Amino acid sequence: MHVKAYQRSPQPERRRPKPGLVLAGYSRSIAAFQDQQLSALQRFGRRLVPRHPAQLIVLGFATAIAVGTGLLMLPVAKSGAGGASLLEAVFTATSAVCVTGLITVDTPVFWSGFGQVVILGLIQIGGFGVMSFGTLLGVLTARRLGLRSRMLAAAETKSTGFGDVRRVLVGVFIISLIVEVLLALVLTLRFLLGYGYPLGQALWHGVFHSISAFNNAGFALYSDNLMGFGSDPWILLPIAAGVIIGGLGFPVLFELRRQYRRPIFWSMNTKLVLLGTVVLLAGGTAFFTAAEWSNPATLGGLAPADRVMGGFFQSVITRTAGFNSTDIAQMHPVSWLGMDILMFIGGGPAGTAGGLKITTFAVLFFILATELRGGTAVNIFGKRLSRAVHRQAITVVLLAIALVVVSTMFLMLITDFGQERILFEVVSAFATVGLSTGITAGMPPAGQVVLILLMFIGRLGPVTLGTALAVRSRPIMYEYPKERPLIG
């Protein structure tokens, strides 16, 4: 008797869904289940509340700005009689939450001690991330996270999955605390021993500038920012170090902490950020030092070593923070143009830096190099780059350029300032850098509103757009016939 063995037909391999699709699927399924349990009126009310992580991040930052505006409008927040106007409060709150540093009023003169504390708190919350900050509070109080909290924190911190959100948030908090405490200690000792500040004043100045530096905010407690310390390496170099560390991005800092002895295992993101940072810092230092070497209003009046230090400091600050040790308004126009480029590029992703990020422009550079070589795939550090990343990088850059151009043209119509200064101000606001040629306070209310919108969009645009593109990505089951238009 023969028994015929039947073999089960092989099952087709199940494709693993992309993280963005999983995120969207979880969100839709939870929303559908909750809608079934509510009445018609409750369902209508829930539809008015945004559910997409990117929308909630925007709402969170807008809420933080609104709260900060209310606090800064209190009479106790302003020095002297009366309170700040709505536009003054909104502009300062937006600049602080978006860690920009642009100001329309003199921070140490206009704001009282309470107002300066409010600004410092807004900087810390904005640099850490409004949603990340709220989620961290939930971790510390309830010691657990709901699915929506994990979704929001993952979208804002660029976490790879829901399981590591708690670890990422705690890691971000620890790194921020360590860097800010060490930097504050160095600055406090310098203010105390080098400038004879009383202990309380030295500590306040050290803490304020430490938090402002690490979060790439650029707010200072001096009317001339840091121009009074143009020859002091004990002030400029620690602040530059804090700006660089914060500008690398938390994913890079996490990976360096785990794999600092094994560069071969570093991710493409870490390699691109580190390489781009070194190249931009070196190139920016050489450019600014050479361009301003003989300018008596900026670096020309300093000793040769101090000129190099000033060029290095400005190279660090231009890409991420809004401090300045030289008079920006007295710089050569070619220096402004070079700063426009560096500000637009910015720092590392998922950190406190602004701009469109080093990785975005690195991707465009390698796409260009591959096209010039006639290659078919973009390879970076031995890895092939996903074509979806090509489209995302091109989309973000083109939209940013369009926004900068339109804003510049609008401000040229409503103000009498020159194109060079307006373009500088627009790029500085959009890249959340905070450097200024001195025209921000002199702009009409409509112009200041434009800068407010640029700061808000610049802080949230790359995050929300990147998240939206990732969630919207889905497999296409068909393709159209190919055809090539004439290029060039």
Instruction: Identify the residue with better confidence: 48 or 411.
Output: 411
* Average pLDDT, integer, range 292-316: 93
In degrees, to the nearest 5, what angle opens at C-alpha 315 toward C-alphas 209 and 99? 40
Q: Which residue in 207, 130, 211, 117 sits closest to 169, CA to CA?
A: 130
Is 70 exceeded by the pLDDT of residue 40? no
Span 120-129, pLDDT tens digits: 999 988 887 7
CB-based contact 291:337 (threshold 8 Å): no
Record the pTM.
0.81
Instruction: Identify the residue with better confidence: 351 or 182.
Output: 182
Taking the CA atoms of 403, 404, 410 and 414 in sequence, report the sign of the dihedral they define: positive
Can you give the three-state secondary structure of the chain, one letter per residue?
A: CCCCCCCCCCCCCCCCCCHHHHHHHHHHHHHHHHHHCCCHHHHHHHHCCCCCHHHHHHHHHHHHHHHHHHHHCCHHHECCCCCCCHHHHHHHHHHHHCCCCCCCCCHHHHECHHHHHHHHHHHHHHHHCHHHHHHHHHHHHHCCCCHHHHHHHHHHHCCCCCCCHHHHHHHHHHHHHHHHHHHHHHHHHHHHHHCCCCHHHHHHHHHHHHHHHHCCCCCCCCCCCCHHHCCCHHHHHHHHHHHHHHHHCHHHHHHHHHHCCCHHHCCHHHHHHHHHHHHHHHHHHHHHHHHHCCCCCCCCCCCHHHHHHHHHHHHHHHHHCCCCCCCHHHCCHHHHHHHHHHHHHCCCCCCCCCCCCHHHHHHHHHHHHHHHHCCCCCEECCEECCHHHHHHHHHHHHHHHHHHHHHHHHHHHHCCCCHHHHHHHHHHHHCCCCCCCCCCCCCCHHHHHHHHHHHHHHHHHHHHHHHHHHHHCCCCCCCCCCCCCCCC
Give the whole-angstrom CA distance, residue 327 versus residue 336. 12
Q: What residues are paired with 384 via a beta bridge?
A: 379
User: pLDDT category, 83, cuts 50, 70, 90?
Assistant: confident
Span 157-187, pLDDT tens digits: 455 444 456 677 777 788 889 999 999 999 9
> What does the pLDDT read at residue 59?
79
Cβ within 8 Å of residue 174, ≥6 positions away: none
Cα 340–chain centre separation: 16
Phi, psi of 384 (to 5 degrees): -85, 135
CA atoms within 13 A on the CB side of 76: 5
User: pLDDT category, 237, cuts 50, 70, 90?
Assistant: very high
Is 70 exceeded by the pLDDT of residue 269? yes
Q: Which residue in 120, 127, 236 sits closest to 176, CA to CA?
A: 127
> What does the pLDDT read at residue 257?
82
> What does the pLDDT read at residue 162?
42
Span 258-268, pLDDT tens digits: 887 888 888 88
Is 90 exceeded by the pLDDT of residue 426? yes
Question: In percent, how much of the chain has pLDDT > 70?
Answer: 77
Give the whole-angstrom CA distance, residue 92 versus residue 134. 22
CB-based contact 153:135 (threshold 8 Å): yes
* Average pLDDT, integer, range 57-67: 86
Q: Rounded mean pLDDT of the chain?
A: 82
Hey, how many other C-beta atoms are within 10 angstroms of the C-beta on 311?
23
Span 376-398, pLDDT tens digits: 888 888 888 888 788 888 888 98
> What does the pLDDT read at residue 156?
47
> What does the pLDDT read at residue 22?
45
